[in-house]
Amino acid sequence: MLKGILAISGQPGLFKMVTEAKNSIIVESLLTGKRIPAYSTSKISALTDISVFTQTGEIQLKELFKKIQENGKVITPKASANEIKAFFAEILPEYDEDRVYVSDMKKIFQWYQLLNDLNMLIDVEEVKTETEETES
C-alpha cells in the first residue's frame, strides 16, 4: 500500500522513488508528476517506516490510514486545531497527546487525502477479503 512512497523534509506532498543515481535518488512528486533528485543530505522518510506514538507504544501509519478509512469521515487539514485534535482522538483515542502535535496530525490527514485521491490506498474490505481467501 505505502511501499516506495516517501516524504521529504522541506518538500510539499509525497514522492514515489523512481531510481537511484550516483549521489541521490530520483523521486517523482505525487502532486505534480515532476521528477527531482533527492540527496542524502535531505531528510527522507519512507511512509512504511513512520509510526504514531500511543500511550502503550506506537501504531504504524498504514494502520492509522486503515482506521481513518474505516471511520468513513474526512477532515480538511485546514480545520481548526481543536477540530483536528477531536477528529484524531475519535480515530485513535489512545494517541500520546504529549508527543503527537497538531502539525503531525495535519500532515497525516494531508497524506491520507493525497493517497486516497490518487487511489493509492487499498480498500480495507478488499484486504480482509484477500486475507480470508488465502487462508481458506
Residues 78 and 60 occupy one common structural domain: yes
List the Cα angle 21/23/25 in 5-degree steps: 45
Residues 65 and 110 occupy one common structural domain: yes
CATH code: domain of residue 71: 1.10.10.1650
User: Among residues 48, 45, 47, 29, which one has the least CA distance to residue 37?
Assistant: 29
Total structural domains within the chain:
2
Residues 75 and 109 occupy one common structural domain: yes
Parent domain of 76 = 50-125
Residues 36 and 58 occupy one common structural domain: no
Instruction: Kindly state whether residue 56 falls inside one of the protein's structural domains.
Output: yes
Q: What is the per-residue pLDDT across 5-63, written as a single tens digit (0 to 9) for each?
A: 999 998 889 999 999 988 899 999 999 999 999 998 889 999 999 999 999 999 999 99
Report the share of the chain in percent with pLDDT over 70: 88
Residues 15 and 60 occupy one common structural domain: no
